[in-house]
Structure 1
């Protein structure tokens, strides 16, 4: 049986090519994803480990359970001196770091925003940052830049750069270029160094550090040094010591965790590709088995058991899967290398390192390719083994019995009904409805797939009036497309799954975008909102500059401060605003009270907070501010919160005395002439054309919030492209097998007068009908899932409303039609070139 299976594989090389391609694509995406993410992760982890080569023990502030958010105590100069003098310590270095936005010569922000960092150069010849050119910075008007940033931006010693820490523009001079193993720099970020006093003034307080790094003397282990340092740590437990190895391991885990999201998303693409590929593989083996009915029956007649017949089909699948898996693995290694190069072309920098092809990647690729192929081939093989030998040798094919169709349709109807019920139930459960909705969506998708043979007849019948316009070819195409509904359904399902996902996400993204536009329009009276690009805090000087600017009629900052409400252990946030101007900058729907009551110990709160604490207009509550002082506030109004503004709002002048450091999250600005390009340019100019500061109007805010949906959609469009490639292979495969099966029929049609153009038209129309059938099902399911998910979103987003993107759905349907036309090119040409006499004589 093994030799027979191998002979069958070699005898049907051309027919199995599509199957190999389908499996190969799926395996290539899986292995390529694993190679790419493992390579990037390994490079960052090695770079991270190099960054801790100069650290044997690090002393860091320890946040207590009762500490306010962001209020970790700093490390003193005395602790630094003590740590450097313990037995086994060779040297100790104090570090201060924070955000530092650096502008390139084109005025744009360098690096990735969040990874643009500033730190201190500690003392003479700081071993962490060897100087490549120039000297160390000295004084607040000087900085040193990392070599990679200097090279990318074209800076050299002596240049003046523009940068910002919390809003105001600084123009220091570059005095040195240094090298570093910092992982953020290797990933495309930037690092600017100040002298220690300047860094402390910018990021903390004079004489204080955010970390102390200690080098061990020769012969002293990190564990021994850590034990000695722990003896000099403050007794109140405000600082802790960690070895360099522990820090490297922790950062490696963070890198691995960060890469897992990318890996999961890319593997989801590969999974969809494989899932769609299963239908193609199953189709191929079903048709191959059907064509070998007599051969298999003869094997049964001469003594082969059902198990042996099934096993022979599985052996064929194993050989095909193994070949596809090996080739797919090789292709995946190429994809991984290509993705790494592509990442660099988009501006992302990856640390140097080898391409990582781990044993787990090889095993996963082989298992995925072989297992998927064998699973897809098992059912056709089992079905072939059940065909009675006498019936098979008489060409009485085992068509689906009425009983089997009834069972299949019943199961499909039950699954679909359960799925619809679960989805509808989930829409009524708010945030708790995610799990039942996800389960219902899976059940409905499977149920519709099971029902597709039943659905194919009425849906394709609806196209009959259009197909009649193409005469005999159109009529024959309709009949051929429903002749084997199971095969048609399995082929159409490839497109159905891809279009379901993309249509659903497009509906959700469009609806959310519209709701955000409405929210920004309804809740903001301000013309502009000013904030940091990386969502860090702004200096209060920014608001003062804007308030004094000609053409600006009103400004208000939003200042967050942690506080305890009514003695609770957990912290809530108070938001300081300008009580005099906020009413002209923000429009909120008040259930009780109004902006007029704000100020003098009175606050306004959103309805969720009021409901949580049982407050209403006139309620008093106790508050413990971040500086530890206690006070009493009164609720003057209750409003409906939204994504733009929520929580407890009070006058900034009442909040300021209790803040350890006054900073703004954002500043709202209203101008006399409204939101105009000239007004935006004026505000930017007043802030020194600072690349770290974003000046956004309502549309900019809406686009920014909706950006993650756009990114997700673009990823899904990539997924659709993969699904389309696999679907094209599936349709080609189905049509090629169909043409082979109908050779006699096609020969007879040619003999009675249907010309080659008519044959081509018939095959193309059949392909078009199958593809549009899958497209219609996918778009219909996608709209339903998009509506259901929108009901969940609407429970937390008051302005949500369903938007159906008719234009894009039309494009998706046209794409399905294009798939059908392209997939039919080769089978149609092959059908038209059949020799009519040879085809008629063929068995």
Structure 2
């Protein structure tokens, strides 16, 4: 029986090729995902290990920062800091060779062309902390010297080379908005993974870095190097003796392990996300495999029955078919694994091209990846072939007297339709009653898809019959195509379902994403009266100098900063948002349910509706507040408004916040000009800010385009991932048609003999393929629109303006895609059918 199985595999190489490809694509996606995530994880972990080579013990502030109101009665927003005195003491403990302090933040470097010199999205700045020899061991100098005073910087070698800078040049740097001309005094090398991934690293002298990123004389971290012969554990114990209560020590090994775990967890999340799409492709592939083996078994009915007649048991017949599946699955798994390694390499390049910071490193193909890929390919194929194998084993020996085994009985179709109807009804009921819960929605969607799949043979007849008026225009070819499509409804259903699943997911995501885009767009722009919104490109805080510069610029009529300040209202931590109460009505128009911006000054505040409802506040309510400097006061609610991305929470006048703020920073600045939102006004503002590439100036159109761009990027990524399932579905249509042509060889020969020419045969096969594809497309788009409507109530809790929007243009495009799938899938089977020798076909059994 084993030799028989191998012979059958070799005898049907062409027919099984499509099955191999279907499994191969799914396995390639799985192995590619595993290779990609393992490679990125390994590269980042190696990079982190390098970053901790000079750190034996690190001193941090404890996790209980006083910014957490539950931490105690201290000032809101106050964080314990690491002082210079602590650093000096740490450097003198027994077993310490040296100690250095670190302070870091954002620093954008402009190239000579005015654009950002960083290839990555996270350009950084840090301090140069020289030791006794005048050098910082963390940053070996390649040329020049380290920065010693304000106005001097050092750049990493990769950025300097990329931007064409050399020692002595003037470099334009932006930390929080204004452009800072700096003299380049040194160029250094670094093993920092962020630098290796293309981000720029700018070093300032310690005092300047502390001014930019913290407070004078304070550090974010103190790194201590152990003296030769002193272990990290011993050094940690010595440092613990001198630490104040709000600090803690962590060994370099612990830091590396913690970072490695964080990287691993992030990669697992990404891996899970990508594997979902691999699973979809494999699920679609199951239909094709089951279809293929069902047709192969049907074609070998006589052969299998003869095997039973000469003594083969049912178990042997089942094993014979499963052995074929094992061979096919093994071939597909091995080739899929090899293809997946290539996919992993391509994915890394694509993610890098999108601006992600990925360190260099070798491709990682672990043993678990190999075993998982092989197991997935073999098990999926054998699972899909199991039902056809059982069906083959049940063929009675007497069937050897007939060339065709009995078709499915009416009773079995009635049972199938009843089960499908029950599953569909249950799925719809779950979706309609549980639309506020994600898990319930997922379960209901799965039940409905399964139900529709079971019902597909029943649905095929009326839906395909609806195309009859169009098919009549194609004469006898159209009539035969319709009859062929409904001749074996189960096969047609299985083929169409593969395409249906892919289009259901694509359509559903398109409807939800498009509807959310419109809601977010409306939320972001409807409350904006300002012509421009100015912010840092990376969303970091802006210097208050930016607002002052804009306010004094020609043509600007109104300006307001939007800044946040930590505060405590009663027992809860609730940040305050500051705006200019004198100009905010000219720049923002949120929807007020009561009160207004009028008179926003002193102790007056307006609060968003959600927060007011949660806390039981209304116009006139008094709010006891503790400001960030620890002083107490009382705010009076003068308005309740609908919150948005522009404004939310508790809004007060910046003059109310100013006396309590030690450091002032704006999240964004709203600007209104005499000429309105136009390119001339935008250019004028850009020049006023020194043509700073780190600052973004956006009007309403830019905000809308940004939202649309983010949604389209997400959708394009989803289309690419789900495209694998569509490709697998195409293979399924090709496979079904090819085998259908083989089964109907005698019939096609008779049609040729009685006068149907080759063009008519080709047209018949193409129309049949088109019908099956459009049938799957209509079902998929219909289900997708329904799935796009169902979560509306859940989304409206987050986006009150959410309303389902059906993108008709894309729906038509998806239907055309289904039609193109049908046309392309029919090319080879139609050509093969037209080239059949009519006499040989008539004589075929």
TM class by shorter-chain length? Answer: over 0.9
Q: Aligned runs of 1:578-617 on 2, under 5 Å?
A: 578-617=580-619
Contact residue 101 and residue 113 of structure 1 kept, 8 A: no
In 2, distance between residues paired with 1:192 and 1:558?
Answer: 28
In 2, distance between residues paired with 1:113 and 1:335?
Answer: 23
For residue 281 of structure 1, what is the aligned residue in structure 2?
A: 289
Report how far residue 65 of structure 1 moved: 5.7
Contact residue 167 and residue 538 of structure 1 kept, 8 A: yes
Q: Which moved more, 1:435-444 or 1:63-72?
A: 63-72
Give the 3-state SS of the residue equivalent to 2:633 in structure 1. strand
Q: Which moved more, 1:215-224 or 1:336-345?
A: 336-345
Contact residue 283 and residue 734 of structure 1 kept, 8 A: yes
The reply to whether residue 519 of structure 1 matches residue 492 of structure 2 is no
For residue 772 of structure 2, what is the aligned residue in structure 1?
A: 770
Report how far residue 371 of structure 1 moved: 0.5
In 1, distance between residues paired with 2:564 and 2:404?
Answer: 79
Q: Which moved more, 1:747-756 or 1:110-119?
A: 110-119
Q: Which moved more, 1:362-371 or 1:436-445?
A: 436-445
For residue 117 of structure 1, what is the aligned residue in structure 2?
A: 124
The reply to whether residue 180 of structure 1 matches residue 184 of structure 2 is no
Report how far residue 448 of structure 1 moved: 1.0
In 1, distance between residues paired with 2:400 and 2:641?
Answer: 76
For residue 557 of structure 2, what is the aligned residue in structure 1?
A: 553
Report how far residue 111 of structure 1 moved: 3.0
For residue 163 of structure 1, what is the aligned residue in structure 2?
A: 173
Report how far residue 113 of structure 1 moved: 6.4
For residue 152 of structure 1, what is the aligned residue in structure 2?
A: 162
For residue 82 of structure 1, what is the aligned residue in structure 2?
A: 89
What whole-Å deviation, never above 9, does each CA across 1:679-715 have from its counterpart, x for those lacking one?
1111111111111111111122233344442222011
Structure 1, gaps ≥5 residues long: none
Q: Which moved more, 1:63-72 or 1:831-840?
A: 63-72
Contact residue 500 and residue 779 of structure 2 kept, 8 A: yes
Contact residue 186 and residue 351 of structure 1 kept, 8 A: yes
Q: Which moved more, 1:156-165 or 1:47-56?
A: 156-165
Q: 1:372 aligns with which of 363, 367, 380?
A: 380
The reply to whether residue 448 of structure 1 matches residue 452 of structure 2 is yes
Q: TM-score, normalised by structure 1?
A: 0.97
Q: Cα 1:580–1:345, aligned 2, differ >3 Å: closer, same or farther?
A: closer
The reply to whether residue 736 of structure 1 matches residue 743 of structure 2 is no
Give the 3-state SS of the residue equivalent to 2:643 in structure 1. coil
In 2, distance between residues paired with 1:73 and 1:206?
Answer: 14
For residue 197 of structure 1, what is the aligned residue in structure 2?
A: 207
What whole-Å deviation, never above 9, does each CA across 1:764-802 have from its counterpart, x for those lacking one?
100011111111111111111112233422232122222
Report how far residue 392 of structure 1 moved: 5.1
In 2, distance between residues paired with 1:312 and 1:260?
Answer: 39
Q: TM-score, normalised by structure 2?
A: 0.96
In 2, distance between residues paired with 1:231 and 1:520?
Answer: 53
Report how far residue 750 of structure 1 moved: 0.6
Report how far residue 232 of structure 1 moved: 0.7
What whole-Å deviation, never above 9, does each CA across 1:171-199 have from its counterpart, x for those lacking one?
11211111111111122211100111211
Give the 3-state SS of the residue equivalent to 1:98 in structure 2. strand
Q: Aligned runs of 1:365-764 on 2, under 5 Å?
A: 365-391=373-399, 393-427=401-435, 429=436, 433-568=437-572, 571-764=573-766
Q: Which moved more, 1:91-100 or 1:414-423?
A: 414-423
Contact residue 66 and residue 78 of structure 2 kept, 8 A: no
Report how far residue 96 of structure 1 moved: 1.2
For residue 9 of structure 2, what is the aligned residue in structure 1?
A: 9
In 1, distance between residues paired with 2:552 and 2:514?
Answer: 39
Report how far residue 388 of structure 1 moved: 2.3
Q: Cα 1:507–1:543, aligned 2, differ >3 Å: closer, same or farther?
A: same
What whole-Å deviation, never above 9, does each CA across 1:359-409 have from its counterpart, x for those lacking one?
110011001100000011001111222222213542342311122111111
Give the 3-state SS of the residue equivalent to 2:239 in structure 1. helix
Contact residue 65 and residue 78 of structure 2 kept, 8 A: no
The reply to whether residue 98 of structure 1 matches residue 105 of structure 2 is yes
In 1, distance between residues paired with 2:266 and 2:201?
Answer: 21
Structure 2, gaps ≥5 residues long: 69-75
The reply to whether residue 812 of structure 1 matches residue 819 of structure 2 is no
Report how far residue 338 of structure 1 moved: 3.1
In 2, distance between residues paired with 1:71 and 1:324?
Answer: 60
In 1, distance between residues paired with 2:466 and 2:51?
Answer: 67
In 2, distance between residues paired with 1:794 and 1:706?
Answer: 19
Number of equivalent positions? 835
Q: Which moved more, 1:580-589 or 1:784-793?
A: 784-793
Contact residue 567 and residue 624 of structure 1 kept, 8 A: no
RMSD: 1.6
Contact residue 642 and residue 797 of structure 1 kept, 8 A: no
Give the 3-state SS of the residue equivalent to 1:395 in structure 2. coil
What whole-Å deviation, never above 9, does each CA across 1:157-180 have from its counterpart, x for those lacking one?
222221111111111121111111
For residue 54 of structure 2, what is the aligned residue in structure 1?
A: 54
What whole-Å deviation, never above 9, does each CA across 1:617-640 have from its counterpart, x for those lacking one?
111121112222211111111112
Contact residue 129 and residue 206 of structure 2 kept, 8 A: yes
Q: Aligned runs of 1:791-802 on 2, under 5 Å?
A: 791-802=793-804
What whole-Å deviation, never above 9, does each CA across 1:625-657 have from its counterpart, x for those lacking one?
222221111111111222332111111111122
What whole-Å deviation, never above 9, does each CA across 1:93-152 have from its counterpart, x for those lacking one?
111111111122222223366521101111112110001112111221111111122222
In 2, distance between residues paired with 1:622 and 1:238?
Answer: 28
Q: Cα 1:352–1:640, aligned 2, differ >3 Å: closer, same or farther?
A: closer
Q: Cα 1:368–1:820, aligned 2, differ >3 Å: closer, same or farther?
A: same
Q: Aligned runs of 1:296-335 on 2, under 5 Å?
A: 296-335=304-343
Q: Which moved more, 1:539-548 or 1:366-375?
A: 539-548
For residue 271 of structure 1, what is the aligned residue in structure 2?
A: 279
Contact residue 610 and residue 638 of structure 1 kept, 8 A: yes
What whole-Å deviation, never above 9, does each CA across 1:457-479 have from its counterpart, x for those lacking one?
11111111101100000000000
Contact residue 420 and residue 444 of structure 1 kept, 8 A: yes
The reply to whether residue 29 of structure 1 matches residue 29 of structure 2 is yes
Q: Cα 1:352–1:609, aligned 2, differ >3 Å: closer, same or farther?
A: closer
Give the 3-state SS of the residue equivalent to 1:592 in structure 2. strand
Give the 3-state SS of the residue equivalent to 2:248 in structure 1. strand
In 2, distance between residues paired with 1:40 and 1:66?
Answer: 36
In 2, distance between residues paired with 1:444 and 1:728?
Answer: 23
In 2, distance between residues paired with 1:344 and 1:605?
Answer: 42
Q: Which moved more, 1:86-95 or 1:385-394?
A: 385-394
In 2, distance between residues paired with 1:702 and 1:796?
Answer: 19
Q: Cα 1:243–1:706, aligned 2, differ >3 Å: closer, same or farther?
A: farther
Give the 3-state SS of the residue equivalent to 1:595 in structure 2. coil
Report how far residue 70 of structure 1 moved: 5.5
Give the 3-state SS of the residue equivalent to 1:94 in structure 2. strand
Contact residue 113 and residue 534 of structure 1 kept, 8 A: no
In 2, distance between residues paired with 1:556 and 1:230?
Answer: 48
In 2, distance between residues paired with 1:35 and 1:9?
Answer: 31
In 2, distance between residues paired with 1:347 and 1:644?
Answer: 27
Q: Which moved more, 1:831-840 or 1:8-17?
A: 8-17
In 1, distance between residues paired with 2:194 and 2:647?
Answer: 33
Contact residue 99 and residue 116 of structure 1 kept, 8 A: yes
Q: Which moved more, 1:553-562 or 1:465-474?
A: 553-562
Q: Cα 1:792–1:155, aligned 2, differ >3 Å: closer, same or farther?
A: same
Report how far residue 611 of structure 1 moved: 1.2
Q: Cα 1:87–1:393, aligned 2, differ >3 Å: closer, same or farther?
A: farther
What whole-Å deviation, never above 9, does each CA across 1:459-503 have from its counterpart, x for those lacking one?
111111101100000000000011111111111112111111111
In 2, distance between residues paired with 1:242 and 1:70?
Answer: 24
In 2, distance between residues paired with 1:786 and 1:113?
Answer: 35
